Chains A and B, each alone.
Chain A
């Protein structure tokens, strides 16, 4: 019974923890501008994160090594360092987006400017990564994040014209939008679904929770059941925006537009669920990105890391996270728009993805690490398909950003 409970808990937290500020904003923006014409990208990204997390989780469980320990071992000190710098900076950008997102959720509820919430959000994240137990922070944010089901429920309450909605699923570029803009947002949505920190966190979390080869079954259930259901929440955000925002040409400039369809559909009660879900999901992602900043650097340099150690036993790990948080808060206090930061962060996530994906793909085939748990044929076939997709998205991102004027 307790085994079943643990399995269900894992899957539920995987669902509730799937969505972050990148998914919230990008799906709403895309839904309000392109309807459902980009849903295929979210589906592609969700399949991609399943393939990727399954490999990284298996490597963590079998070899006991997390992503950046692998990168250091396989790429060597110098190439590994270049990889670390790029991955850390892009994770820091995502961290800014998530902390800004926490401030935006509080703005949505209180009407008080996000600038006043940012230091508090940063402090809140710090105190939780300092004090809370790993399983507690993961389960609490994951379960409360299930409040985002409000998006899925809202679709039904809005009584959309299902036929019309179905027709929209066919990928096409609206006449009002430039093709470069369409593809720019395609890259952004892909980066939102397949964000590198999710995998740093997932594989390091596996080591925090002391996975062994016996944990592979549970890990797979989390990935192949939890992530796709989380992906449905993500798509629900785009569907809500398509039904309500697109016809009225409402642009997404803050979280109030993201929430608007849910409020219109379900009133105060739906809004209450939504706010709890958004706050938990975004705060959870802020914790995950903060932990990831510590994981990446500490794993590369071989410092002791992890929430399973007392902070005094992993002092440098905690120091990196504190420094990262301070930088993120300072960046946000300059008054940059957290929504704009989010839109950039998902695109840069797509750019950085090959850096961590390729070493994991290689090591998950290495019998020296994996023994009999190396990738099977299906994993490798999908692994190669996504390698190509990830490389194309990564290479195309900057040119598309320039041509489309960052999606203007």
Chain B
């Protein structure tokens, strides 16, 4: 599987209700060795739009104000689901475990 296969997939909560779509996959670079290892932190899920966040999920990207505001508004209610809370990935759907966590989608990095 490549990460592109995950993008824009529907995300279902444990009861099978659709709660949004995968708009990004958050990675973290780990280790001091070169090349460093990229580990999947989780999926960014947007309840309203399948369009890209265009980078405005990062909290330090705030300008131009109008564009940042528009993109954050389009993706209001977005959240990050930790990778460990993903139960199953089918061809079109991602199902989450019971008691999955909703973390802030904002990326402080």
Interface residues, chain A, CB within 8 Å of chain B?
Answer: 74-79, 361-363, 365-368, 374-375, 380, 383-384, 387
Contact = CB atoms under 8 A, between A and B. Distances in A.
Closest 9 A/B residue pairs (Cβ): A380-B64, A365-B63, A384-B64, A384-B66, A380-B63, A362-B54, A366-B61, A383-B64, A367-B60
5 contacts: A75-B54, A79-B52, A363-B55, A367-B61, A383-B64
Nearest to A75: B52
Determine the interface band of chain B, counting residues with CB < 8 A from chain A. 10 to 19
Nearest to A359: B54
A384 B52 contact: no
A363 B66 CA distance: 15
B36 interface: no
A366 B61 CA distance: 6
Interface in B61-93: 61, 63-67
A76 B52 contact: yes
B15 interface: no
B101 to A, nearest CB: 26
B4 interface: yes
Contacts of A75: 52, 54
Given A77-B4, A367-B60, A367-B61, A362 B52 contact: no
B64 A74 contact: no
Given A76-B52, A367-B61, A362 B4 contact: no
B4 A366 contact: no
A367 B61 CA distance: 7
Choose among A361, A366, A374, A383 the residue with the greatest number of B CB atoms under 10 Å from its CB: A366
A357 to B, nearest CB: 12
A77 B3 CA distance: 11
Interface string B1-24: 000100100000000000000000
A375 B65 CA distance: 12
Contacts of B7: 76
B60 A362 contact: no
A267 B49 CA distance: 63
A76 B4 CA distance: 9
Nearest to B61: A366
A362 B4 CA distance: 22
A356 to B, nearest CB: 14
Contacts of A77: 4
Given A77-B4, A78-B4, A366 B55 contact: yes
Contacts of A383: 64
